[in-house]
Chains A and B, each alone.
Chain A
Amino acid sequence: MDLTLHVWRQKNGKDSGRLATYKAKNVSPDSSFLEMLDIVNQELIEKGEDAIAFDHDCREGICGSCSMVINGKAHGGQKGTTACQLHMRSFKDGDEIVIEPWRAKAFPVVKDLVVDRGAFDRIIQSGGFVSVSTGGVPDANATPVAKTSADFAMDAAECIGCGACVASCKNASAMLFVGAKVSHFANLPQGQPERMRRVLNMVEQMDAEGFGNCTNQFECEAACPKQISVRVIAQMNRDYLKASLTHEEAVPKT
């Protein structure tokens, strides 16, 4: 099939960028979206032009690198999939496809479709450590965890940090990501000692990075390739409230 692509091209952070139009000819419906871009890039390289820069790594939906907004939807909007898991059979011959980078102040464009997601790393860092006893491997049943808590923690832990939540949110809010990281540990016994400190620091870092504020539109939940529920945001909201009202470290040092 033949497609017309409108791809965001931007040389670097200072360039203002623009949509450029490319033809993708003879695309196999069996190829993945990123393979289609590879083919277009190969042609660009052969013509001596600059290839379209996009992030990718695992190409199987586990690393979270492949950030792009396809026709107005993060990762193309197919339920529970990343851009690398999207296949060209989801498109029709003659389709026009607009491809843009994640748009957020906290995710500055590096080049074309590549954005700097360092803000997520700094939020994770601000969460600090969890206290785990070292020594011999403990017996598997030594620390009881209720099945429901373990399930919730594991669902939250599915987050691959791709940033689709931020990209899809009208407010460029990172609360699904931060909520997932908070809920991941808040529901396991190992996460308890630092639970209050963690939520305080992570929310503070999230605000400092310049993300927007959640207005409970739940667009993130629909866009998340791991289908993480906004339940994790409610958990963060609860924990932050409790920490702010009761935890000693919520009182700024003078």
Chain B
Amino acid sequence: MAWIVRLLKSSLGAKYVMAITGIGLYLFLVGHVAGNLLLYFGQDAMNAYALGLRHLPYGLLWIARIGLVIFFGSHITAATYLTLGNQAARPVAYQSKRFMKASFASRTMPMSGFIVFLFLLYHLAHYTWRVVAFTGERVDSLGRDDVYSMVVAGFQQPLISGLYIVAMLVLGVHLHHGLSSLFQTLGLNNARYNTFFRRVFPLLGWVVVLAAASIPLSVMSGCIR
């Protein structure tokens, strides 16, 4: 076990954790957003999907939830560990620092990550724990929990929709760097594939966050009601 501790305490070990959990979190995001796009297919499709998730066999829902907590927890722990180390590594700041290559997204990763974390808490409190901006229990005509109407009612409030859209843009910035950076972290840098790593993969984050942001936009514009 000592070798695992040694690996995780090293700078590179913590970076591998960031990259691997980052891939996991991205894949979760893809699944989660894809599921929620069922809102475009109407009340029945959405509510059936929500019910299906809750009745997954073999306790799969809880396995997934625990997995997510571990992934988020490790990602945030490693991020904090590395970021504190980075701040300590330059105790006296430059008075005139100018960047030549480092992108805006790459320089703001800890901040964009932190905003996403705050949003995550809000999102859970909103639709999972239903303790903020909750508009009352609803059931549909088949007696199912009416997730569809809950989400529509939620996003009919411009302030809440705005918050979700901004949060998705921030996540897009985070993933813009993250989905490219993780390959370098895992040692993948090859002239053959660098166009994908540096130009194509950052777009994969935008596809997902824009799809997610389209939901509050569609509710507000009346496409989904």
Contact = CB atoms under 8 A, between A and B. Distances in A.
Contacts of A223: 100
**Secondary structure call for the A interface:** mixed
Given A172-B89, A244-B3, A234 B184 contact: yes
A21 to B, nearest CB: 13
Interface in A195-218: 203-204, 206-207, 210-218
Contacts of B100: 73, 77, 168, 219, 222-223
Interface string B1-43: 0110011001111111000000000000000000000000000
B139 interface: no
Interface residues of B, number: 42
A127 to B, nearest CB: 16
Interface residues of A, number: 51
Nearest to B88: A105
A213 B90 contact: no
Contact of B89 (A210, A235, A244): A210
Interface in B169-192: 177, 180-181, 184-189
Nearest to B188: A234
Contact of A103 (B11, B13, B92, B186): B92
A216 B181 contact: yes
A228 B188 CA distance: 17
Interface of A: 19, 69, 71-73, 77, 98, 100, 103-106, 168, 170-173, 175, 203-204, 206-207, 210-219, 221-223, 230-231, 233-241, 244, 250-252, 254
Interface of B: 2-3, 6-7, 10-16, 82, 85-86, 88-103, 106-107, 109, 177, 180-181, 184-189
